[in-house]
């Protein structure tokens, strides 16, 4: 009986791992992988990077744990055979050693985050640190992913079409002009504006390729 219980526990653990290994779908063809611990999510990250059917991937490292060896796990960005377009979300709390790996990463990628994020985002999203953290936490507390990216923004501080044009011409260091972080208000209190911007940018880039 004891042996059976041990076996059952192992099977349940494997099933749990299998269920968590698949990223969420932010949009058709755009998986979203939120990482809390790089050490615990190494297999998950490698699996997501090797989804050959996905031309792009959103990796959320905004509030990843500051762990010894985490940066080594992130080196998988440079070693995977598949080459999806990567949208990497960062924040002021992204560990600096992780940020350093992102800066040196070789694949096509765009970093997005609020002001003072690590590393400096290529796309600066106007949202306060408190609102960014609250929107991030909302998903973990049961808010649907679609609800977090569906809020309408009353005012934007840069021409997204121009930014997309810069990216399409190979200038991945293009930055939108900075504005007042309190100047852009969402009609939905828990809109995740960083994640929302990644989705909008991906759609715009895809439209240019049609």
Q: Report the CATH number at residue 122.
A: 3.90.226
The parent domain of residue 91 ranges over: 21-208
Query: 168: how many CB neighbours lie within 10 A of its CB?
Result: 12
| 8 inside domain | no
The reply to whether the predicted model has a pTM over 0.85 is no
Phi-psi category of 31—alpha, beta or left, where left has phi over 0 and alpha has psi -120 to 50? Answer: beta
| 118 inside domain | yes
Phi-psi category of 124—alpha, beta or left, where left has phi over 0 and alpha has psi -120 to 50? Answer: beta
**Predicted pLDDT at 105:** 86
- Residue 184 exposure: Cα atoms within 13 Å on the Cβ side: 23
Segments of the chain with pLDDT less than 70: 1-22, 52-53, 81-82, 151-189, 210
**Predicted pLDDT at 124:** 94
| 12 inside domain | no
- The total domain count for the chain is 1
């Amino acid at each position: 009986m004891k042996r059976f219980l041990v076996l059952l526990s192992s099977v349940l653990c494997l099933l749990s791992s299998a269920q968590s290994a698949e990223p969420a779908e932010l949009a058709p063809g755009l998986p979203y992988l939120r990482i809390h611990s790089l050490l615990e999510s190494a297999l998950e990250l490698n699996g997501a990077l090797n989804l050959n059917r996905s031309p792009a991937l959103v990796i959320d490292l905004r509030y990843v744990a500051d762990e010894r060896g985490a940066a080594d796990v992130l080196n998988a960005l440079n070693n995977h055979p598949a080459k999806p377009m990567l949208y990497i979300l960062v924040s002021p709390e992204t560990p600096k050693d992780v940020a350093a790996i992102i800066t040196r990463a070789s694949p096509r990628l765009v970093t997005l985050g609020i002001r003072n994020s690590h590393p400096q985002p290529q796309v600066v999203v106007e949202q306060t640190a408190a609102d960014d953290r609250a929107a991030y936490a909302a998903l973990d507390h049961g808010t649907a992913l679609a609800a977090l990216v569906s809020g309408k923004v009353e005012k934007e501080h840069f021409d997204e079409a121009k930014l997309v044009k810069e990216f399409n011409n190979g200038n991945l260091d293009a930055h939108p002009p900075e504005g007042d972080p309190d100047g852009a208000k969402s009609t939905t209190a828990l809109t995740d504006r960083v994640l929302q911007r990644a989705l909008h940018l991906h759609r715009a880039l895809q439209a240019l390729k049609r």
